[in-house]
Structure 1
Amino acid sequence: MDLMQFFDMILHVDKTLGLFIDQYGTAIYVILFAIVFCETGLIVLPFLPGDSLLFIAGTFCATGAMDVWLLCVLLILAAVLGNTVNYWVGSAIGHKVYEKDYAWLDKAALQKTHSFYEKHGGKTIILARFLPIVRTFAPFVAGVSEMTHKKFQLFNVIGALLWVVLLVSAGYFLGAIPLLRDHLNTIVLVGVGAAIVPLLLGGAWKLIRNFTSSKASK
């Protein structure tokens, strides 16, 4: 296998995981750890598979090809460390990231994540785990926005636990159902939407209440 073929398999590892397990055996844990770490820790690699990779890995655990407990522990660690590196990079660069143009940085994705962060604050770190692209940029934006390290790590660890355990477990128990396997991204987005809508409604109600109170006091 040449280098280009290897990278192509990495980019589509959610579809070629079985081949990786056959060829690399227990080294698959190191490969999956590296992929999750890079997808969450390096903002130049937001295109690596995330949700689908965890789900498919769960299905292989159900067949006995991998140990589900070892996999979950390693991927949670990879997700936490990846976000932490991303956070420190954002902290180091600071607010000038919005003023300068960096060839390696997707400005549109950065602005989208920043807007999401402004709406939902620290909860963004948890919710973003289930949103491709936003997942990669959220810890970076948290660092740029000077969120305290203690507060960031709280949301970081909770988000990593939920993301890995929920999706690997879904693959482990439900991976044999074609409808779920083939429409995973849609199902994840619907689930995140269900979590966000109450927050938006609560914010809207607060604005209406404040507006009504200000009119009444005039």
Structure 2
Amino acid sequence: MDQFLEFLKHLINPKWIIEHGGLYLLLFIIFAETGLFVGFFLPGDSLLFVAGIYSELLCESFFNIPFFVLMSLIALAGIIGNLVGYWFGKKSGPMLFRKKDTLLFKKKHLQQAHDFYEKYGGGAIFIARFLPIVRTFAPIIAGIVQMDRKKFMFYNIIGSITWVFSLMLAGHYLDKIFPNLKEHLELIIIVIILITTLPVLIKIFFGKPKQRTVLPGENKEAPSQQGE
């Protein structure tokens, strides 16, 4: 059990992921964090930024592929992850809303993604790419509400490419401008986490409370869980 917990601890450390798991583990985490509801705790933004910093190492370790190909592979993992989330939501969505909370599953995360989708419509798939937790559940919600597949794929592809390329290019070129960037990775990761989670924190602490929406598959007579 201790070894498993230690492994989970490493999975939220972008530098450890790249140095010990390489491109394969990086691709899997991006896939899981963008489509599997159990992957919401995994790093996304910070992992991509650090991957940009270590882009030369990653390219050399995988047949010396060009940086553009590296980013394309990672973007593809994000596209496939969202597609799996969409399929899962379409097939199993109503069951999820009746599922009890567990360590790796919280119904409130689905509620947040549902409200986000209701506010932004199809564009939520694009915007959600830049919001932790929401990007994990947004494609599942899109599947639950039967979003048109072509429309979903359009936002899915554009969103994944923009998300991956912007963060990796930022890490890659900032490392060129500031050669000592690797020495401050811990601080950089903390800053990225704070920036990306700021909208969520603002909503939690300063957002106006509103009546909870009854989600698809839920019993309308069930008591509200807003106070969870």
Question: What's the TM-score bracket when you normalise by the shorter of the two chains?
Answer: 0.7 to 0.9
Q: Give the alignment of 1:35-74 within 5 angstroms.
A: 35-61=29-55, 64-67=56-59, 68-74=67-73
* Post-superposition offset of 1:3: 5.4
In the alignment, residue 11 of structure 1 is paired with which amino acid?
Answer: I
Contact 1:174/1:180 (8 A) holds in 2: no
In the alignment, residue 86 of structure 2 is paired with which amino acid?
Answer: Y
Q: Give the alignment of 1:99-178 within 5 angstroms.
A: 99-101=98-100, 103=102, 105-175=105-175, 176=178
Contact 1:56/1:171 (8 A) holds in 2: yes
Higher helix fraction: Structure 1 or Structure 2?
1
Deviation by residue 1:30-72 (Cα, 9 ceiling, x = unmatched): 11111111111210120001000000000111xx212322321
Q: Gapped runs of 5+ residues in structure 1?
A: 194-218
* Post-superposition offset of 1:94: 3.6
Instruction: Say how many residue pairs are matched.
Output: 182
User: CA distance change for structure 1 residues 18 and 114 in 2, over 3 Å: closer, same or farther?
Assistant: closer
Q: What is the CA RMSD across the aligned residues, in angstroms?
A: 2.5
Aligned to 2:10: 9
Partner secondary structure for residue 41 of structure 1 = coil
Q: 2: distance between equivalents of 1:54 and 1:100?
A: 32
Q: 2: distance between equivalents of 1:18 and 1:161?
A: 20
Q: 2: distance between equivalents of 1:38 and 1:132?
A: 13
Deviation by residue 1:148-185 (Cα, 9 ceiling, x = unmatched): 11111010001000000000011111244568665223
Residue 191 of structure 2 corresponds to residue 183 of structure 1 = yes
Contact 1:72/1:165 (8 A) holds in 2: yes
Q: TM-score, normalised by structure 1?
A: 0.74
Q: 1: distance between equivalents of 2:3 and 2:70?
A: 26
Deviation by residue 1:63-99 (Cα, 9 ceiling, x = unmatched): x212322321111110000000000010002445434
Partner secondary structure for residue 66 of structure 1 = helix
In percent, how many aligned pairs have the same letter?
A: 41
